[in-house]
């Protein structure tokens, strides 16, 4: 059974189970890097906001032998859990003063998000784009976000520049930067003590949430401290939208070596929608600025 037939069958089964009260909608969602996912939304006329359950992963489970009954049960349970969390009056979202303190930003690829950026306010930063999102309070829904589009910007009478200013303040305040050595990070994740490589000292820059942490590049103060410690410029290797890698620019390796490292990580270790960039950057210690290495 191909994917489209699978989707159609899931919709029919959900409609039978949910009855006429619900409309089962198939939605195509453009994620980061213009990766398109297919989901289902179980909606009623009174719903102002509703969860989307993506089907690509469930399709893989079906191909591995999982039954339709189990998959439909899982979708319904997921819908119920998320719908309870999102059962709130969203009229407040029209009032900029009520939402402005929960607006944040993240970094994404400019080139790979042409479709997404056509409807999203952004600020260009080298070959990347700064885009904005609203994060619901953790007490309402854990890690639930609303991407800010041009309609929201017009409704609030805001510009991309004003969103950048407020998001910068909020992101620095609520998602402070986190700079740790690679050894410290591995130890935190695995519990195993790992000595840092003295020949190739590498650091990870992210935020305390470890989510969309590459945006810490926009406000980090610790980058300068690290550069002063090594008395060197720093190379910046984009690891994902969630973090970047830093290491002294000691010129022991050609830049092509690090570009290949970034390409291999992006290709083999990072989900397509979480790839940040294939470029290489440098923190210029003299100018205290981050620049893209073009050559």
Distance CA 134, CA 174 (A): 13
Residue 259: which of 242, 238, 273 has the closest Cα? Answer: 238
Report the predicted TM-score, pTM, of the whole model to 2 decimal places: 0.83
196 pLDDT higher than 60? no
Residue 40: which of 67, 63, 17 has the closest Cα? Answer: 17
Taking only Cα atoms into account, the Rg of the chain, rounded to an integer number of angstroms, comes to 22
Which residues are 103's β-sheet partners?
Answer: 134
Residue 52 CB contacts under 8 Å (≥ 6 apart), including other chains: 27, 29, 39, 40, 41
The pLDDT tens digits of the residues spanning 124-159 come to 999 999 999 999 876 444 567 889 999 999 999 999
User: Residue 61: which H helix or E strand, with range?
Assistant: helix 56-63
Say if residues 139 and 82 touch (Cβ distance below 8 Å): no
10 Å CB burial of residue 106 (0-12, 13-18, 19+) is buried
Rounded average pLDDT over 183-198 = 61
Q: What are phi and psi of 173, to 5 degrees?
A: -75, -50
Give domain limits for the chain: 3-87, 91-172, 177-292
Residue 111 CB contacts under 8 Å (≥ 6 apart), including other chains: 127
Say if residues 168 and 218 touch (Cβ distance below 8 Å): yes
Kindly state the percentage of the chain with pLDDT values over 70. 87
pLDDT value of position 201: 87
């Amino acid at each position: 059974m191909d994917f489209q037939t699978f989707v159609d069958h899931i919709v029919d089964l959900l409609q039978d189970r949910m009855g006429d009260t619900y409309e089962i909608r198939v939605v195509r969602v453009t994620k980061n890097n213009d990766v398109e996912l297919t989901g289902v939304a179980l909606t009623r006329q009174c719903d102002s906001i509703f969860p989307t359950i993506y089907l690509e992963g469930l399709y893989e489970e079906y191909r591995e032998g999982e039954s339709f009954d189990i998959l439909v049960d899982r979708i319904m349970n997921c819908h119920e859990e998320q719908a309870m969390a999102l059962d709130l009056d969203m009229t407040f979202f029209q009032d900029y003063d009520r939402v402005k303190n929960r607006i944040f930003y993240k970094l994404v690829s400019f080139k790979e998000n042409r479709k997404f950026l056509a409807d999203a306010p952004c600020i260009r930063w080298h070959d990347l784009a700064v885009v904005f999102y609203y994060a619901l309070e953790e007490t309402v829904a854990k890690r639930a976000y609303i991407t800010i589009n041009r309609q929201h910007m017009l409704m609030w009478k805001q510009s991309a520049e004003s969103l950048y200013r407020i998001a910068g303040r909020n992101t620095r305040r609520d998602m402070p930067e986190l700079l740790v050595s690679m050894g410290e990070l591995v130890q935190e994740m695995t519990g195993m003590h790992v000595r840092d490589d003295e020949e190739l000292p590498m650091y990870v820059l992210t935020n305390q949430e470890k989510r969309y942490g590459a945006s810490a590049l926009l406000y980090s103060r610790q980058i300068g401290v690290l550069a002063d410690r090594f008395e060197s410029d720093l190379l910046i290797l984009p690891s994902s939208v969630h973090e970047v890698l830093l290491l002294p620019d000691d010129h022991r390796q050609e830049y092509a070596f690090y570009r290949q490292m970034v390409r291999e990580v992006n290709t083999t270790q990072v989900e397509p929608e979480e790839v940040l960039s294939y470029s290489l950057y440098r923190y210029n210690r003299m100018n205290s600025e981050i620049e893209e290495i073009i050559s």
